Structure 1
Amino acid sequence: MEKLKQTLEKIGELQQEAMEKTRKRVDCLIKPPGSLGRLEDLAVQLAGITGNPYPTVDNRVIIVMSADHGVYKEGIAPNPQIITAIQTPNFAKGVTGVCAFAKQSGADVVVVDIGVAVDVDHPGVINRKIRYGTGNMAQGPAMMREEAVQSLEIGIEIAEEQIRRGKNLIGTGEMGIGNTTPSAAIVAVMGNYDPREVVGIGAGLPLEKLDHKAQVIRRAIEINQPNPKDGIDVLAKVGGFEIGGMAGTMLAAAAHRVPVVIDGFISTAAALIACAIEPKVKNFLIPSHCSAEKGGKAALDLLGLQPMFDMGLRLGEGSGAALAFHFVEAATYMVKEMITLEESGITL
């Protein structure tokens, strides 16, 4: 708990002076005012996050958290749970979807076993297992409050290690069969939605089983009564270890003034947890895409964030965040490589 407390104490506001300098330069670049749209706002946000009017994001990493879920026993996922354990080493091998996009964007991929249901034996996987999957949230809390804090602190520690190594742009990713169920539960609790409004097919659940999935979530919420004003309580009762790990990554990034790109539905659910714990975290978050998963838009709306793009993605893993790195870097190149009207000799 002490690590979490210290991290929260470090989270401040965006640096206004740096933002003003970047905004002034962006407005004077050799282009019609506002013609580069949200890239201009992104450049200003990056300045506010880093305190540098000319920010750099050339040392990038996707942190992938892997864990399993006890609610899988309720028949809410179409694929065998062992896929989590099989896929987790594949991130370390560099052969998954996010790894392909990370290679293209020049980003490292760090994978953490924070709660896979079996032992994962691979030297490239960081073992920070809390236990072998969460409890079945349809029968009781997914985890103890102390375990929820532990998952947050693991995320903080992993992110801080990457920041110590010079990483200046972080993306959040995950792996966990069935994890759209706790994510939908978190969105339902935070937004006071009926679960049927935000439940989706995940990795391919047949449409005729969506009502069952929603009912499982509804039962979990009724049994556990998570408090939407207490992010740790929501995480503990209906969340997942990898969701807590991603939320901790976001808290650490905000505390160290490093921009953090959130991926799709599950990452956005983690962002809801992080922002419930400390609302100022929102200023440090950069949304990547609008997930094709049904609750994705609702989750972004609850945060008040607008995604960069919508390509119908729903892979997870951090894949959308890796693709978004190109946009983030483009914003920094705009500020540093374009000249101003005055520098070009144009007077209007």
Structure 2
Amino acid sequence: MSVIPDPLPQLDSIAAERAMRRLDRLTKPPGSLGRLERLAVELAAIQAEALPRVSPPAMLVFAADHGVAAEGVSAFPQAVTAQMVANFTAGGAAINVFARQHGARLEVIDVGVATPLPDGTADHPLLVSERVRLGTANMLEGDAMSRDEAQQAMAAGGRAAERAAAAGCRSLIVGEMGIANTTASSALLAALTGKPVAGLVGPGTGIDDERLAHKRAVIERALAARQPDPADPLGALATVGGLEIAAMAGALLVGASHRLPLIVDGFIATVAALVACRLQPSLRDFLIFGHRSREPGHELALQALDARPLLDFELRLGEGTGAALAFPLLDSACRLLAERATFDDAGIETASVDG
């Protein structure tokens, strides 16, 4: 399986036109449901179906650690990544709640957890082991990973998307877990956009102002030492990125190859989407942005992708939770197309041109 599917399918303009015509025949003033109508048309174009369906969704949570955590950039120790993987498999995390709510197919994929998993976690049916290495290296001391390892992580994400498509899932949400991954995401975003680090870096797991200043300094030092090339997105990913970021990028690319609407989560997932779009620009057509995170870098990442998210709930949790909260809007758009009566069905007269 290619890490970067080429070419991706094109949006289906005929399905989009059929969806628009049906929307205009529904029992409502034309365009009165605003963005929901545009979302319905977008989904029709992605799936090449005039009556698209997004249920059941797949939720893929990729977990990995970051060597830069050794620099004290997070409020939590690195062991929390493994502990949260256990929480996912036990059904106790926020994404588990939303997966149950939406009848989603949930997988947790270990692409680089550094510390041992708690007893009983490794054999859990929700967990897929695709561990490329025991976390990335400390980007202050060397490249986070090799290009080959970045490609391996992307391929692991692609396999997860393939499993979701084979299981009959109709949309895809990717999420992540990894202590210090906002540090890696901020460094990668700065590398790809050339923007100053100071405006990109946020509190992540909730660090205070002193540690936030330290986090910014660590990223600036790492970028100065590693010199990632913005014209080489795979190289930048390997130099200062993360294994779970690479896996999300791979999942998005392969998900698009199956015409799955891709609901992008917050800051870290959006940076993964930016990497994937730099590798394959046509991916952008398949991305629907679930929410705007409180992380300051998220706004820049959204701007870089010309994206307008569906929700703004001041979230900064990750896991795919913001995308999961946005999922019902996609489902409602599909149901609007398929289930609402047309004027002819209801025996209602349409407005006349002279009226």
Same-fold status (TM-score > 0.5):
yes
**Residue matched to 1:256:** 258
| Pairing of 1:1-348 with structure 2 (within 5 A) | 3-5=2-4, 8-120=5-117, 121-124=121-124, 125-344=127-346, 345-348=348-351
CA distance in 2, matches of 1:98, 1:265: 16
Structure 2: gaps (5+ residues): none
Q: Judge which range, 120-129 or 143-152, deviates more.
A: 120-129
CA distance in 2, matches of 1:284, 1:27: 24
Q: CA deviation at 1:10?
A: 4.1
Residues 175 and 265 in structure 2, CA contact (< 8 A), matched pair in contact too? yes
Residues 10 and 256 in structure 1, CA contact (< 8 A), matched pair in contact too? no
Aligned length: 345
Percent identity between matched residues is 42
CA distance in 1, matches of 2:289, 2:158: 19
Residues 175 and 321 in structure 2, CA contact (< 8 A), matched pair in contact too? yes
Does the residue aligned with 1:63 lie in a helix, a strand or coil? strand
Q: CA deviation at 1:118?
A: 2.1
Residues 91 and 109 in structure 1, CA contact (< 8 A), matched pair in contact too? no
CA distance in 2, matches of 1:325, 1:276: 25
Q: CA deviation at 1:170?
A: 0.9
Give the partner amino acid of 1:347: T
Larger radius of gyration: 2
CA distance in 2, matches of 1:223, 1:37: 48
Structure 1: gaps (5+ residues): none
Residues 252 and 276 in structure 2, CA contact (< 8 A), matched pair in contact too? yes
Runs of 4+ more than 4 Å apart: none
Residues 172 and 263 in structure 1, CA contact (< 8 A), matched pair in contact too? yes
CA distance in 2, matches of 1:312, 1:273: 24
Residues 92 and 109 in structure 1, CA contact (< 8 A), matched pair in contact too? no
CA distance in 1, matches of 2:66, 2:330: 33
Give the partner amino acid of 1:4: V
Residues 261 and 286 in structure 1, CA contact (< 8 A), matched pair in contact too? yes
Give the partner amino acid of 2:123: P
Residues 105 and 164 in structure 2, CA contact (< 8 A), matched pair in contact too? no
Q: Judge which range, 224-233 or 165-174, deviates more.
A: 224-233
Give the partner amino acid of 1:117: A
TM-score normalised over the length of structure 2: 0.94
CA distance in 2, matches of 1:339, 1:279: 38
Give the partner amino acid of 2:80: I
Residues 47 and 260 in structure 2, CA contact (< 8 A), matched pair in contact too? yes
Residues 64 and 112 in structure 1, CA contact (< 8 A), matched pair in contact too? yes
Give the partner amino acid of 1:250: L
Give the partner amino acid of 2:350: T
Residues 174 and 263 in structure 2, CA contact (< 8 A), matched pair in contact too? yes
Residues 66 and 136 in structure 2, CA contact (< 8 A), matched pair in contact too? yes
Does the residue aligned with 1:290 lie in a helix, a strand or coil? strand
Q: CA deviation at 1:64?
A: 0.2
CA distance in 1, matches of 2:160, 2:70: 30
Residues 256 and 283 in structure 2, CA contact (< 8 A), matched pair in contact too? yes
Give the partner amino acid of 2:210: E
CA distance in 2, matches of 1:244, 1:24: 39
CA distance in 2, matches of 1:196, 1:28: 50
CA distance in 1, matches of 2:220, 2:206: 21
Q: CA deviation at 1:190?
A: 2.1
CA distance in 2, matches of 1:196, 1:71: 18
CA distance in 2, matches of 1:274, 1:84: 24
Give the partner amino acid of 1:329: D
Does the residue aligned with 1:102 lie in a helix, a strand or coil? helix
Give the partner amino acid of 1:286: I
Does the residue aligned with 2:315 lie in a helix, a strand or coil? coil
CA distance in 1, matches of 2:288, 2:23: 19
CA distance in 1, matches of 2:6, 2:193: 27
Q: Judge which range, 253-262 or 205-214, deviates more.
A: 205-214
Give the partner amino acid of 2:18: K
Q: Judge which range, 131-140 or 334-343, deviates more.
A: 334-343
CA distance in 2, matches of 1:191, 1:28: 44
Residues 115 and 133 in structure 1, CA contact (< 8 A), matched pair in contact too? yes
TM-score normalised over the length of structure 1: 0.96
Q: CA deviation at 1:164?
A: 0.6
Question: 1:125-159 deviations in whole A, cap 9, x for unaligned?
Answer: 21110010001112221110001111111100111
Question: 1:8-58 deviations in whole A, cap 9, x for unaligned?
Answer: 224122111111111121233221222211111111111111100101112
Q: Judge which range, 30-39 or 198-207, deviates more.
A: 30-39
